[in-house]
Structure 1
């Protein structure tokens, strides 16, 4: 199992190129960035974590721009969205941005996706809370057509385009891995149907190890080989025993949180947790 990190790419935080280089130098496998295109000032949608919405949510860089700087500063570090709010992104433009980043980084991009929780935010993009998952599915399937076909087309409820040409194609074949966040059975069914992996969070008492076993059982019943589904734990505990338990469960990767602190504090924190990136875990 590999150990990476995630960080809200805040405009007041550490430079993304410096952070990426620091992670790679310390032996971390990956850097994932969350996104919010904006935060509506009404604040009608309550923060799922409870209390006031943290400052970083309204100060994030664009994920593709941030990861491009991270890619240019590194050689091996994997780069991912954790998560991209897919219903808020027009799929033709998004597919090109992803393919460009994957090609220019030498095939290092991972597309972490989700439907989102902020109703007003998605409505500002013309998406609806009630249909966000259906729209997300269509956007992903349409992007796969653009990535894998020289002449692509798609005809759905939310996405429609006749025969088009779109290059570049991603470096990874058939396309960058698509991993879906969430912890419900609804999420697992979506993972099995059209994703390459699962992106669970071990919070609120949710047991990721049991969740992986459940996912594999569901996959087998649906006729999909469980070995074709990758699991990346988002927000893993900074604890060797927890990481070892994920490794024994066959989980491929775990992401540790980087705090919303100053540059110097973040670099000191990376030094503190760096031994976790070098645990004798299975590859």
Structure 2
């Protein structure tokens, strides 16, 4: 089983280069970053994690800028989003960003995607919350066309463009893996149809994880990789996830200054 971290990189925590070096030096295999373009001051959408929205949500750096900086100081670390709010991003621009990251990193990019929970945030991007899942589907499919076709085109309900040239192409063949976030009742449908893996959050809809994984793999007819992010520092959690058939664990890494982060990484590394 592989081990990495999931975290928020902000303007008041450890810097990207220092974080990337520290992870690779300690043997971690991946870094997955959360994103929020902004947080509306007036917000009615409840945060799924509790009553109070943590400070780090307000202060995230752009994940692709951070991952590019990390790529420049590492050689093996897989570089992912956990998750990219694809319903708030232009698919043509996003396809180029991820392909560029894959190129400069030598084929280490991973695109974790989701539709998000903050309805006010997505409305500021012109996204209607009620149709965000259909939008997510089309944007993923369009991005894969842009990655894999010399003259890519897509004609859907929300995404529509005639043949275009879009470069660079990714290094990975056929393209960087797209991991579908979430654990709702319709998530398996999305994983099976257009995902390259599943990435649920630990403790949110994962009570019957072994059965869920078996069902997805059976329906897909292939060994769908499963990455669980937001995992606490717990030997019991690691053992449970391994027994359930999880391929990769992403430990939750608090957003802290460099010295505190390095101490925390030392403790996390003891688990594997």
Q: TM-score range by the shorter chain?
A: over 0.9
Distance 1:212 1:112, change over 3 A: farther
Matched, 1:256 2:254: no
CA contact (8 A) 1:216 1:226 kept: no
Partner of 1:63: 63
- Distance in 2 between residues matched to 1:173 and 1:198, nearest whole Å: 19
- Distance in 2 between residues matched to 1:60 and 1:186, nearest whole Å: 29
What SS class does the counterpart of residue 95 from structure 2 fall into?
helix
Distance 1:66 1:91, change over 3 A: same
Q: How far has the Cα of 1:105 moved from its partner? A: 0.4
Q: Displaced runs of 4+ in structure 1, greater than 3 A? A: none
Structure 2: where are the runs of 5+ without partners? Answer: none
CA contact (8 A) 1:147 1:175 kept: yes
> 1:164-216 CA distances to partner (integer Å, 9 max, x unpaired)?
11110001111100011111220111101100111112225732xx3243343
CA contact (8 A) 2:183 2:204 kept: no
Q: How far has the Cα of 1:226 moved from its partner? A: 3.6
Q: TM-score, normalised by structure 1?
A: 0.92
- Distance in 2 between residues matched to 1:69 and 1:158, nearest whole Å: 32
Structure 1: where are the runs of 5+ without partners? Answer: none
What SS class does the counterpart of residue 132 from structure 2 fall into?
helix
Partner of 2:111: 111
CA contact (8 A) 2:184 2:205 kept: no
Distance 1:11 1:43, change over 3 A: same
Partner of 1:273: 268
Matched, 1:42 2:42: yes
Partner of 1:14: 14
Partner of 2:154: 154
Paired residues, number? 272
- Distance in 1 between residues matched to 2:270 and 2:79, nearest whole Å: 21
For residues 183-198 of structure 1, what are the structure 2 equivalents within 5 Å?
183-198=183-198
- Distance in 2 between residues matched to 1:236 and 1:263, nearest whole Å: 21
Q: How far has the Cα of 1:218 moved from its partner? A: 4.4
